[in-house]
Homo-oligomer: A and B are copies of this chain.
Amino acid sequence: MSSQPPVIILVETQLAENLGSVARAMANFGLIDLRLVNPKVDINDPKAVAMAVGAVDLLRKATFFSSLSEATADLTHIFGTTAIIRQMVKQCYTPNACVSLCFQNPMWRVGLLFGPERTGLSNEDLSLCYGVVHIAVEPDFSSLNLGQALVILAYEYYLKKTSPKEQFLQIGETMPAPLEQVQYFLSNLEHKLDQTHFWRADYKKPIMWRNLRNIFTRMDLTEQEVRTLNGVLDVLSRKKEP
């Protein structure tokens, strides 16, 4: 799976919109191989094309099969998706666990199966699966849209593949401010507050000034932002015209 993205197999899909939204989500997350087992709608249906947006090519390259066995003949492991866990002896995985397992086994050629919208995968189709992927949802509103279920699995695949940074500061053309610049701003601020008798009573200053420093030191300021704040400070503290 690290070399080959999972194949997406839709069984007896009933709504054209879902063909389109599946194709679009596949393109968003780097999946390319779409297989359709006895679809009940046409991939050229205007609703499918409209929902696919720029992924129409991916949709048009979908391949057609008359049985699940034919659609999965070249694969080594297939996982069925279900919202409801049936009474069946089957290994169940979260999307994350399923994708992790596949990346741990790069020789696997994996297929992800999605059943008809109204009924989901049949127990017969599920019995052909190596495992089941179960997306945890609210028990009293457990019917996930096909395109929504697909996008969650595609998203988990892409997360594992790309391991994006969990958090970062996006700062455009400026740079994080060195502390001496922040310190210069703080000295400037303290000086101006001293001049305007902000502290009211001298004994109050240490705590008030500590609280103010806390505000500015946790702000992740950039060099440009420190310059801007110094400018704001200078203008605000300028002597009023008489």
What residues of chain A have their CB less than 8 Å away from a CB belonging to chain B?
A: 17, 21, 24-25, 27-30, 51, 53-55, 85-94, 96-97, 132, 134-138, 141-145, 147-148, 151-152, 155, 158-159, 162, 164-174, 220, 222, 224-225
Contact = CB atoms under 8 A, between A and B. Distances in A.
Contact of A148 (B17, B141, B151, B164): B151
A52 to B, nearest CB: 10
Given A27-B138, A97-B167, 6 more contacts: A28-B142, A28-B148, A89-B222, A92-B168, A92-B169, A94-B166
A162 B148 contact: no
16 contacts: A21-B148, A28-B142, A29-B137, A51-B145, A54-B143, A87-B173, A89-B174, A90-B169, A91-B167, A91-B168, A93-B166, A93-B167, A97-B166, A135-B155, A136-B159, A138-B158
A126 B167 CA distance: 17
Q: Count copies of this chain in the complex.
A: 2
Contact of A225 (B89, B97, B164): B89
Contacts of A87: 172-173
Nearest to A54: B141
A88 B159 CA distance: 24
A151 B135 CA distance: 12
Contacts of A225: 89
B143 A53 contact: yes
Contacts of A174: 89
B158 A24 contact: no
A202 to B, nearest CB: 34
A174 B87 CA distance: 10
Residue from A86, A88, A93, A166 having most chain B Cβ neighbours under 10 A: A166
Contacts of A171: 89
A178 to B, nearest CB: 16
